Structure 1
Amino acid sequence: MHRRKELNKNLKPSWVWAIAFGSSIGWGAFILPGDWIAEAGPAGAMIGVLLGAIVMMFIAVSYGVLIRKHPVSGGEFAYAFLSAGKTWAFITGWFLALGYACIVALNASALSLLLKYLFPSFMKQFFLYEIAGWEVYLPEIIISSLVILFFAYMNIRGNGFSGKLQFIFSVVLILGVATMGIYTFAFADFPIENMKPAFPEGKSPLISILLILAIAPWAYVGFDNVPQAAEEFNFSPSKAFGLIIMSLMASGLVYATMIGVTSWTFAQGANVNNSNLWLTGDIISSSFGTVGVVVLAIAISMGIFTGLNGFFHSSSRLLFAMSRGKTLPAFFSDLHPNYNTPYKSIIFIALFTLPSAWFGREALIWIVDMSSIGVSIAYFFTCFTAFRVLSWARNNEGLEISPIKKTIAFLGAVFSIMFVLLLIVPGSPAQLGMPSMIALLIWVALGVTFFTSIYKSFRVLGRDELSYYILGQKK
């Protein structure tokens, strides 16, 4: 066997928390509250996102168990291999890689959306074409491309550089959201009254909540970046679970606060300075003025930057681990001679996401919607693997005895299956639209094609050899 490639151990606990939190809070927390309120009402949206955070905490228990036992890059890819074998490991990694790359692309496009709102006369120059009702202009393509290239470069430089910035960005984001939440609640004459009706007319509270709960795997995707970074911890892996829980608590509060800001500031239907582009931005502008818009712009920029940085890190580590595990070409695991980072994987993610700047935001949302399925599959295998490595009672296999954690792992696996079913079962209130289903089928076809091309060399690899490359275990 060849020598196993390894990454530097230089990630501090605060940086890992910032990766998890900052990756969970991207553009969606600031741009989508208006859409969520329209779908589920203020109460339905708030309850949905907070329940989503609680469900993710159940799933996080399994991550805590497995990170402690197997602190390796690859995360869910490695866990799927451990419990279900190399084929399911490839499937899990394939879908997860798509989900991560999509979020890089969508965060880059979100910066253009922000600038379109703040500087419409500048951004709406040099019209090119229209996709699904979204007008594409040259400045947004240039800006989205530049921000992708910048964060690719920052990640190639290594964790010391990107980790410090991630933590700073995360702290500024929290301060910005807290300022907007406190000010608008105090500014509103009747904040609780303004949130009525709590649920949309003609739609039951349960359906309203389920609509938002179904997107929890997408909304909170990012806390699962922690296992992708586990190999680079400079601290005990046993601390990872606490960092994940703290990141999910902070993320849930940020989502709920921004829904509150959008719903409690003015009575529903009130006449705000509506540009028809971004309800939350219009409300902050009307209530908070220019200062509020600046605070909001800073907060959303921090969310975008932390998302870009976090998912560049996790997607490159996932590709690195899959390559090291012989399920992707060898160049994905090549390390930079100076920074010891998987720079070719980082460059690949940049090249893969750069064309997204030309697609328009609506086309990207179709892809991101269906990527929730891939994330849910990854959650399932994490919980399923944790269920397998835990024991109800003392046995001869040397498994950890923890009936409570084993029960929670089982519940996490059930929740994960429910998320998938909510997205794909016909008639489900959260069923994917036809464009998203088509995008999903295309990605499945690409995966089948790619897996078929490597299958001959892949099938001859024994479990012991793969355990060494994927899990770092020698028999």
Structure 2
Amino acid sequence: MNNISKKGSSGLSAIDFFMLGFGSMIGVGWTVSLNDWFYTAGGVLGTVLAFLIGTLMVIPIGLCYGEMTGSMPVSGGTMAFAYRAEGSRLSFLGGWLTSLAYIVLLPWEMIYINHILGLLFPFFTKGTPLYVIFGFEVYLGSLIFGIALTFAMILLNVKGTALAGKMQTKLTIGILVAALIIIFFGFMKANPDNLKPIYMPIESQGHKTFFGGFISILVIVPFFLAGFDAIPQAIEDANDDIDPKKIPKIIVFTIAAAGLFYILIILSAATAVHWTDFVQLESPALAFLFSWVYDGALSKFLYYVVMIGALGGLLSTYNGMFIAASKLLYSMGRSKLLPDAFSITTIHGTPVVAILFCGLATLIGPFFGTSVIAPLTNVGSLSFVLGWLITSYSTLKLRRFEGTLKRPIKAGEDYTVILISIAVSSLLVILSIIPSSPGFMTYPSLGIFIVWLILGVIFYKISQNRGEQVSEIERFELMFEKDE
């Protein structure tokens, strides 16, 4: 059970897996959401602490994913882990929630990709809007581009995960180069006084204390640190160099590197200009910041570095989550947890129906625009955390009752790391769903989440009533067929 199914030298290398996870994590938000974080927290320090503590909280969860992936190196991640621990129902719930987390990111990324392109190429937003939805203007040019990019991503993934994974590596390298330039020139203008006041109550955010501001960011940190769990989804596409013992190390290093990346970006921007001025800038605020603090050719150069870095980041997360979502839906179809159509593959062995489903979800972005950003962020964050909770619980259950399961590497020799993971995940879930909590996800977001659960029940019932119901022995063989 612990041998990784390999694709020879054409598959994904250890570097590709790191870039898949890291690129998926850092592609979200660092250019387009930075000033919103300060506004939501009521200051910079609360934001930094939330990302620091959030990173430390997520590392034990990453170790659980590492242990489980080494033991069960098949596409499916949480779905496969939960099935081994508890059976079909928890497996379906884990898979369906995790797929929501991945899918939510697809329109989210597309919205901001269109926004950046509209700034770089004004003709995308030229003329009269086609329509206005919740205050957001939708233009024909940006709509056509969003649809075209969606179809391009569909074609890329249909040709194979390895090809998409190699593109991810190139995108992530580009992001890192842009980020290093941004961090350097941000700190060149650093003034610690720009971090004051440490906290300012923001009436619209529903908190009146530093702790409240900190919590309001902490509960969405999972959304911006998610992506490391894309690594287990692509594990079947590993090349011959991959040893199961490498996977936990790659996952933990990915989380730590992403947390450090975010903190450096936050501090470089926050010290370059007073944060109360920074929150007033339009998105992407980081690009406009450099137009403010630098003059002439350097100002323009940094503006375009940020914009290109933003595009690369958004595309990397979009690509990484597209891979993860389609792989997961395929695994659920293969295991008869979803209708059998999701397991249909092309001559390249790629899950065409799952890929088309992800493409359809992406199209929400161009048609609805920024009006859905906040709800998508909240729903995605809760979904990721619930997936983490299920994986952590599965790790504990299997450690206690399947001691003979081969584990190339463990999340600690005792239960301490696993229990910390369960406690952290549970705390984040509670903070998100309690209305009186400063981290409450809002009722519209909760409504979207409930609708997804209902849709899942419908799909699950269809899969059971149309002949896809199989014995648990058969389901086990289907789920783990790639490493048998």
TM-score, normalised via structure 2 length: 0.89
> C-alpha displacement at 1:391, in angstroms?
5.0
Q: Which amino acid aligns with 1:267?
A: H
The amino acid across from 1:113 in the alignment is: H
Q: Retained in 1: the 8 A contact 2:110–2:146?
A: yes
CA contact (8 A) 2:74 2:480 kept: yes
1:36 maps to what in 2?
Answer: 37
Distance 2:169 2:325 in 1: 19
Structure 2 partner of 1:94: 96
Stretches of structure 2 lacking an aligned partner (at least 5 in a row): 202-206
Is residue 205 from structure 1 mapped to residue 210 from structure 2 by the alignment? yes
Structure-2 separation of matches of 1:396 and 1:371 = 34
Indicate whether 1:438 and 2:477 are aligned: no
Partners of 2:349 and 2:276 in 1: CA distance: 54
Counterpart in 1 of 2:434?
425
Q: Percent identity?
A: 26
TM superposition shift of 1:352:
3.0
Q: Which deviates more, 105-114 or 65-74?
A: 105-114
Task: Give the 5 Å matches for 1:24-63.
Answer: 24-40=25-41, 41-63=43-65
Q: Structure 1 residues 77, 348: CA separation in 2 closer, same or farther (over 3 Å shift)? A: same
Q: How much does 1:408 deviate? A: 0.7
Quote the Cα distance in structure 2 between the aligned partners of 1:200 and 1:273: 12
Counterpart for residue 71 of structure 2: 69
RMSD: 2.5
- Aligned mates of 2:90, 2:467 — CA distance in 1: 13
Q: How does 1:381-392 map to 2 (within 5 A)?
A: 381-391=390-400
2:35–2:281 CA contact under 8 A, matched in 1: no
Among 148, 151, 164, the alignment partner of 2:150 is 148
Q: Write the deviation string for residues 67-100 of structure 1: whole angstroms up to 9, x where unpaired.
A: 1100000001111111121011112211221221
Aligned to 1:3: none
Aligned pair 1:162/2:164, yes or no? yes
CA distance in 1, matches of 2:164, 2:418: 33
**Which position in structure 2 is the counterpart of 1:466?**
475
Q: For residues 37 and 51 of structure 1, what CA distance do their matches in structure 2 show?
A: 16
In structure 1, list runs of 5 or more residues that go unmatched.
1-5
**Per the alignment, do residues 279 and 387 of structure 1 end up closer, same or farther by CA in structure 2, a change over 3 Å counting?**
same
1:295 to 285, 291, 305: 305
Secondary structure, counterpart of 1:390 in structure 2:
helix
What's the offset of the Cα at 1:61?
0.7
Kept after mapping to 2: 8 A contact 1:15/1:167: yes
2:268 aligned partner:
261
Cα pair distance change 1:335/1:273, threshold 3 Å: closer
Q: Deviations over 1:278-317 (max 9, x none)?
A: 4323212222411011110121111111111111111111
Query: What is the number of residues matched between the two proteins?
Result: 464
Shift of 1:370: 1.4
Amino acid at match of 1:39: T
My pick for the range that moved more, 315-324 or 372-381, is 372-381
Question: 1:82 matched to which residue of 2?
Answer: 84
Instruction: Report the Cα distance in structure 2 between the residues aligned to 1:217 and 1:458, rounded to whole angstroms.
Output: 38
1:309–1:459: structure 2 CA closer, same or farther, 3 Å change rule? closer
Q: Deviations over 1:11-47 (max 9, x none)?
A: 1111111110111122412111101111221111111
- Which shifted more, 24-33 or 66-75? 24-33
2:318 to 281, 291, 308: 308
Partner of 1:279: 285
Contact 1:34 1:262 in 2 (8 A): no
Shift of 1:203: 3.8
Equivalent pair of 1:149/1:350 in contact (CA under 8 Å): yes
* Distance across 2 between alignment mates of 1:88 and 1:137: 43
Specify the SS of the correspondent of 1:135: strand
Aligned match of 1:320:
330
Larger displacement relative to structure 2 (77-86 or 7-16) = 7-16
Give, as a single letter, the amino acid of the residue that structure 1 aligns with 2:316: T
Per the alignment, residue 204 of structure 2 pairs with none
Which residue in 2 is equivalent to 1:23? 24
Aligned partners of 1:302 and 1:162: how far apart in 2?
14
